[in-house]
Amino acid sequence: MAHVSRWITHRYVKFLIIAFWLVVVALLGPLAGKLTDAQSNDAKSWLPQSAESTEVLDVATGFVSSNTIPAVIVYERDGGLTEADLAVVAADAEEFGTLATLDGEVVGPVPSEDGEAAQIIVPLDLGSDGWNLAADAVTDLRATAEDGANGMNVYITGPAGQAADSSAAFEGLDSTLLFSAAGVVIIILLLTYRSPILWLLPLISAGVALTVSQAVIYLLAENAGLTVNAQSAGILTVLVFGAGTDYALLLTARYREELRKHGDRHEAMGLALHRASPAIIASGATVAISMLVLLLASIASTAGLGPVAAIGIVVAVIVMLTLLPALLVTCGRWVFWPRAPKLGDAEPSEHGFWSRIGTRIERRPRRTWVVTSLVLVLAGFGVVALNANGLSNEGQYTSEQPSIAGEKVLAAHFAGGAGSPVVVIANTDQADDVVAVFAGVDGIEPSSVQALGDKDGVTYIEGTLTSAPDSDEAYDTVDRVRDAVHPVDGADAIVGGTSAITLDVERAAVADNKLVMPLILLVVFVVLMILLRAVLGPLVLIGTVVLSFAAAIGISALFFKYVFGYEGADTAFPLFVFVFLVALGIDYNIFLMTRVREETIRIGHHRGSLVALAATGGVITSAGLVLAGTFAVLGTLPLVAFAEIGFAVALGVLLDTLVVRSVLVTALNLDIGKKMWWPSALARKPDPTPAAVTEEAPVPVA
């Protein structure tokens, strides 16, 4: 690595590196802009591939286009619809029947029993890009329905209305997150460096990393079948800016430290890169491998996030270890103005804030880690308030959406599942038997059950729920339907539909948590063992990671329920927060412990732990603020799932930075002592004598 570091910071090679990245961005920039077009936001991109409801979707394409999205138009007048109102609704139904995007026949108008409402169901085929086109289609339907409504209230709901609201919520997501994340990074870098210029270099590097990673992901999505949706694309922006800036902060801090010891900036950067790169590479590898573990998840959206995030992290590491150092040495010391480090300047961290914190921890390390651990454990008990069983259609948004208002009106006047039927696929020879048992299931409107067609020996059957399709009652009904139709001899019946999809996702998420979480802990443990060349230390650090995650989830759950008033959390919430907090939180363990090991070899474990805290405390704090700030921008979206992930990860990162790494881990280091390095030789090596330390021998590489 030393040889590579010297080449990257060579007086002439640095210009070639900068030119290389300029060419790469020029070539790949246009492709990065096409990533939105490559996103797959249809239902299957979010579903467990082996679920029964997913199988129904596959078979149902033979009867109904997979691109078909039913729109439910609801008309309502307090006091009852008049004859003139019904005539207007009937005229609208005829006009909807002439739509070029119509797939099948318009159903209705169907008046409600109370006479106050009527509904029309319009099946629309908007093509493979229907999710993005739903908002425009709904706008057109609304314009037609409201024209001549004469005081009637008109609502557009059903799958098309929900898709329109979802599409609108994600509209401009990439630019919103990009500008928000960049703004957070700029502010924190300005506060950290107190330089009007230096912040530009990490920001430029992060922008290059994001552009290149988006282009690579686009190419893989187009040519290798990589699944990308709005969720993974949005998280990519936050992740690259957050983690990339963290790596930039670590490298820049070490470079500034070396500039105080060396007159030649190229030599200083070579040493800084040589000594900081193992921690950065190990950190990036941990995050990337942890993200790739998500490929084992059964839910398609979760599995798709894995390679997308891993690519972003790998590219960020490469850019921060090549382009950033080349930019820094090209600019010279003046880029730190007005606090440019000079040769011979005292190291400010020796008597800084974290040095004083270390001195206080040193007095009573055991009491410090015991009390800190107890506080984190108590915070973790807040998890009892967490309801991660999924969100209803209404609960998905931070504000009421048009389709939700329509859904409420629909439920008030019609059977709750209108527009979102339960679908059963069965062998045609036994279809009559299946229809009979299906109609007899409690929670299904008996008169609504009908076979809508048969093809290739299978029949497509639909039935309407008596409860709202996103309710617990609906999910119980799906289970009852499955229990009823599965035993029909020779029918090979399978059950799907909107409610079944939600239920299957919830159950798959529970299974994914049990599989993926332990594997990620194993990955982190193995990387720490290799990096620190020890077993006990990594076990202790894994324990602090789990403690930090539990505290963050517990506190977040209390905020969600009692402060923000959210109805619950998305089924993927625990896994996503775990992945980000463990994989990214371990960064700070790595930043701290690689420095502790370096200083332990030089001046002994006890003193080395304190020096490492003083040297890295500031940069870890800044890195934590950047990462917390970038994830917090997810809260700018009107989506509860994103807001919850952003809040929990931001809180967890702050706990990691300010409490766990800097206080808890340091106290454990001091109390456990050199045994942290067991079974390596470092655990048995006597501390160097004061005389040997004062000779200032070259610092070995961690």
72 closest CA partner among 420, 462, 395, 450: 420
Q: In the prediction, which pLDDT does 172 show?
A: 63
- Judge whether residue 435 has pLDDT over 60: yes
User: Do you know the residue count of the chain?
Assistant: 702
Predicted local confidence at residue 416, as pLDDT: 62
Residues linked to residue 125 through DSSP beta bridges, in sequence order:
68
Neighbours of 344 (CB within 10 A): 8
pLDDT in the model for residue 702: 32
**Strand, helix or coil at 356?**
helix
> pLDDT category, 456, cuts 50, 70, 90?
confident
pLDDT of residue 701: 35
Amino acid at the residue 464: T
Say if residue 538's pLDDT is above 60. yes
Residue type, 46: W
Tokens for 411? 């439920």
Average pLDDT over residues 581-595: 84
d(CA 307, CA 305): 6
Give me the percent of the chain exceeding a pLDDT of 70. 91
Q: What is the distance between the terminal CA atoms of the chain, rounded to a whole angstrom?
A: 12
- Give the residue-averaged pLDDT of 137-166: 83
Interhelix angle 230-259/265-293, rounded to 10 degrees, is 150
In this prediction, residue 129 carries a pLDDT of 62
User: Over the stretch 51-60, which tens digit does the pLDDT of each residue have?
Assistant: 888 888 878 7
Alpha-carbon span 119 to 220, nearest angstrom: 44
pLDDT digits (tens, 9 = 90+) for 24-62: 999 998 988 888 776 665 666 667 777 888 888 878 777
Least confident of 231-245, 320-334, 481-495, 664-678: 231-245
Please determine, for residue 497, whether its predicted confidence score (pLDDT) is greater than 50. Answer: yes
Give the pLDDT confidence score for residue 204 in this predicted structure. 92
- Residue with the bigger pLDDT between 658 and 103: it is 658
Residues 6+ apart with CB under 8 A from 328: 201, 252, 255, 269, 335
Separation CA 438–CA 399 (nearest Å): 37
Q: Is it the case that residue 661 has pLDDT exceeding 70?
A: yes
Tokens 């067609």 sit on residue: 453
The stretch 272-299 carries a mean pLDDT of 88
Strand partners, 319: none
Least confident of 134-148, 279-293, 365-379: 134-148
pLDDT of residue 307 exceeding 80: yes
Look at residue 273 in the predicted model and tell me its pLDDT: 87
Whole-number Cα distances in Å, 460 to 207, 432, 445, 454, 539: 50, 11, 17, 6, 54
Task: Give the per-residue pLDDT at 698.
Answer: 41
Question: Could you tell me the CA-to-CA distances from 209 to 205, 307, 311, 316 in Å, in that order?
Answer: 6, 16, 10, 5
Query: Angle at which helices 402-413 and 158-170 pack, to 10 degrees?
Result: 160
Q: Give pLDDT tens digits for 63-97.
A: 766 667 888 888 888 888 888 888 888 888 888 88
Instruction: Please tell me the predicted confidence (pLDDT) of residue 507.
Output: 85
Looking at residue 647, its pLDDT comes to 92
Q: Kindly state the percentage of the chain with pLDDT values over 90.
A: 20
Tell me: the pLDDT tens digits for 314-343? Answer: 999 999 999 999 999 988 888 888 877 777
**Pair 542, 525: CB distance under 8 Å:** yes
Quick one: pLDDT at residue 699? Answer: 39
Which amino acid type is present at position 686? P
Backbone angles phi, psi at 74, to 5 degrees: -115, 130
Q: Which residue has the higher pLDDT, 133 or 564?
A: 564
Q: Could you tell me the domains of the chain?
A: 2-37+172-391+504-694 (no CATH), 67-169 (3.30.70.1430), 411-503 (3.30.70.120)
**Do the beta carbons of residue 553 and residue 574 sit within 8 Å?**
yes
Residue linked to tokens 């040889």: 3
Q: What is the pLDDT of residue 379?
A: 93
Task: Please state, rounded to an integer, the average pLDDT across all residues of the chain.
Answer: 84
Residue among 601, 610, 608 nearest 685 (CA): 601
Asked whether residue 154 carries a pLDDT value surpassing 90, the answer given is: no
Half-sphere exposure of 562 (CA within 13 A, CB side): 10
Read off the pLDDT of each residue in 429-440 and give the average, rounded to a whole number.
88
Residue among 142, 152, 169, 147 nearest 117 (CA):
152
Nearest to 139 by CA among 156, 125, 127, 123: 156
pLDDT tens digits along 199-237: 889 999 999 999 999 999 999 888 887 878 777 888 888
pLDDT in the model for residue 467: 83
- At position 577, the amino acid (one-letter code) is V
Asked whether the beta carbons of 480 and 458 are under 8 A apart, the reply is no
61, 65, 69, 74: CA torsion to nearest 10:
-100
pLDDT at 697: 43
Cα separation, 378 vs 550, in Å, equals 9
